């Protein structure tokens, strides 16, 4: 007999569905053994298995679980997985971390017993760091504890293009890397100059090595110049919008030509340019956030931006890229440190800023938080509600389009979160 346990088998019906690319106004989603088994229009009426719970949820929306394309689970602290899941983020993508922390988080996330508690964890392995390059300055300024130097000493110290292939090979073999992360911080939009910056030859070699392993290469740059250089090297995605002003509109053509995407991290830019206080205060005061955060105090600004830095520059460039059809990917750049962003909550902040500052349509913000990210990173098992995908789902009160169009609404009003069809234990009351 087929094993049908209610743990990861259920049906949600009479519900508005966003399947990753389009809306179904009233339909059903059937989950079996943690996978999407069926999605259709109308009311679910196939009465073949009355032991499977059927939740009739009119006036609700079901969506794929959110994917946070950009976190740093520093110290291997599982709060990055737990708090993210509570905010509806079923997958987090780490963008540079210590090897020990990566292993820890991979173990937490992959244990089936933890599906009701932790988000899934994806990794680049360690980032392609050089001695004296990014992210050393941000670690020294904001990381706590006496062992910051020890942590930095363990990061890669890449020097020449010959280091690129062994480096990529190592991330794949030792960390199961699914993408490669470059750092191209020139310091020209920050308060302080960088002690050293990587050569374009090294960056090009890293991107080639990533591609030779079938992996996308994504890169950090906080300045317009840094972004252009990475694009010219052939990067697949930018993990920030720039802090300083666009010198021309040439970047739009370059993004199109290189088929690159952007992860704007607007909350991070606001924090770096010391403009995030009000944003942080409002979102931390949201009752949903108060309930789900481990630490409910608003974050302080990262405040490393120089005179030319302002979040508005990043917003303007993101809008122009959006209008020109460049793919946008949502990621928070949360790191769990004292300043900046919050795991999970900052995804909702980014989605709000993209809807109301960048003027993206709700459906496009939703794609950018789910299917676009999965496509761009090559995660073929998630990001949409197609049959056979993982049953990573969130249930929202109301019509998510109306919720997102009203600027007064902050966090999405989540009623339930499932990872691989398993209900997040924070949402047990959903069953009552
Ligand atoms: Zn980052």
DSSP collapsed to 3 states, 181-215:
EEECCCCCCECCCCCCCCCHHHHHHHHHHHHHCCC
Q: Which two tokens stand for residue 355?
A: 């809807």
The boundaries of the domain holding residue 342 are 65-381
Determine how many CB atoms are found less than 10 A away from the CB of residue 412: 24
- Report the SS3 class of residue 27: strand
Does 42 reside within a domain?
no
Q: What is the CATH number of the domain that holds 342?
A: 3.20.20.140
Does 4 reside within a domain?
no
* pLDDT recorded at residue 430: 76
| pTM, 2 dp | 0.97
Does 237 reside within a domain?
yes
CA of 61 to the centre of ligand 1 (A): 31
Q: Are 299 and 340 in contact (CB under 8 A)?
A: yes
Q: Which two tokens stand for residue 104?
A: 């820890």
* pLDDT recorded at residue 6: 59
Closest CA to 395 of 85, 36, 86, 88: 88
Does 158 reside within a domain?
yes
CA of 285 to the centre of ligand 1 (A): 25
* pLDDT recorded at residue 47: 61
Does 424 reside within a domain?
no
> Phi first, then psi: what are they for 306, rounded to 5°?
-85, -165
* pLDDT recorded at residue 4: 43
Does 47 reside within a domain?
no
* pLDDT recorded at residue 51: 65
CA of 25 to the centre of ligand 1 (A): 37
CA of 181 to the centre of ligand 1 (A): 10
* pLDDT recorded at residue 141: 86
Total domain count, the chain: 1
Does 417 reside within a domain?
no
Does 106 reside within a domain?
yes
User: Ligand 1 is a single-atom ion; what residues have CB below 5 A from it?
Assistant: 95, 333
Chain CA centroid to CA 187, Å: 24
Name the stretches of the chain with pLDDT < 50: 1-4
CA of 4 to the centre of ligand 1 (A): 41
How far apart (Å, rounded) are the C-alpha atoms in residues 379 and 373? 8
CA of 95 to the centre of ligand 1 (A): 6
* pLDDT recorded at residue 431: 67
């Amino acid at each position: 007999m087929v094993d049908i346990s209610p743990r990861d088998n259920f049906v949600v019906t009479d519900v508005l569905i966003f399947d990753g690319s389009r809306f179904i106004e009233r339909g059903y989603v059937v989950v079996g053994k943690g996978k999407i088994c069926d999605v259709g229009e109308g009311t679910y009426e196939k009465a073949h298995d009355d032991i499977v719970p059927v939740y009739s949820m009119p006036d609700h929306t079901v969506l794929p679980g959110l994917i946070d394309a950009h976190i740093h689970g520093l110290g291997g602290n599982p709060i990055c997985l737990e708090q993210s899941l509570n905010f509806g983020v079923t997958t987090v993508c780490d963008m540079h971390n210590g090897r020990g922390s990566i292993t820890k988080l991979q173990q937490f996330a992959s244990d089936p017993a933890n599906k009701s508690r932790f988000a899934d964890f994806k990794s680049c392995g360690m980032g392609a760091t050089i001695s004296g390059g990014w992210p050393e300055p941000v670690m020294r300024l904001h990381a706590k504890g006496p062992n910051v130097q020890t942590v930095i000493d363990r990061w890669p110290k890449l020097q020449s293009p010959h280091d690129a292939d062994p480096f990529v090979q190592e991330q794949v073999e030792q960390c199961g890397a699914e993408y490669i992360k470059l750092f191209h911080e020139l310091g020209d939009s920050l308060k302080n100059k960088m002690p050293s910056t990587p050569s374009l030859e090294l960056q090009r070699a890293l991107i080639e090595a990533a591609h030779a392993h079938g992996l996308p290469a994504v890169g950090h740059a906080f300045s317009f110049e840094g972004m252009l250089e990475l694009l010219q090297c052939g990067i697949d995605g930018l993990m920030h919008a720039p802090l300083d002003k666009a010198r021309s509109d040439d970047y739009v053509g370059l993004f199109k030509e290189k088929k690159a995407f952007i992860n704007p991290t607007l909350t991070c830019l606001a924090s770096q340019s010391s403009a995030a206080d009000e944003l942080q205060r409002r979102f931390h005061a949201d009752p949903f956030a108060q309930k789900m955060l481990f630490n409910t105090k608003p974050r302080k600004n990262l405040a490393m931006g120089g005179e030319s830095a302002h979040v508005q520059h990043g917003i303007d460039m993101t809008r122009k890229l959006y209008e020109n059809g460049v793919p946008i990917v949502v990621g928070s750049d949360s790191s769990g440190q004292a300043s900046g962003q919050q795991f999970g909550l900052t995804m909702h902040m980014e989605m709000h800023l993209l809807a109301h500052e960048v003027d993206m349509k709700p459906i496009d913000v939703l794609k950018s938080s789910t299917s676009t990210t999965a496509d761009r990173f090559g995660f073929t098992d998630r990001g949409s509600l197609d049959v056979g995908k993982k049953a990573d789902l969130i249930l929202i009160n109301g019509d998510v389009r109306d919720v997102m169009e009203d600027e007064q609404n902050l966090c999405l009003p989540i009623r339930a979160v499932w990872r691989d069809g398993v209900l997040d234990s924070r949402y047990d009351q959903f069953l009552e």
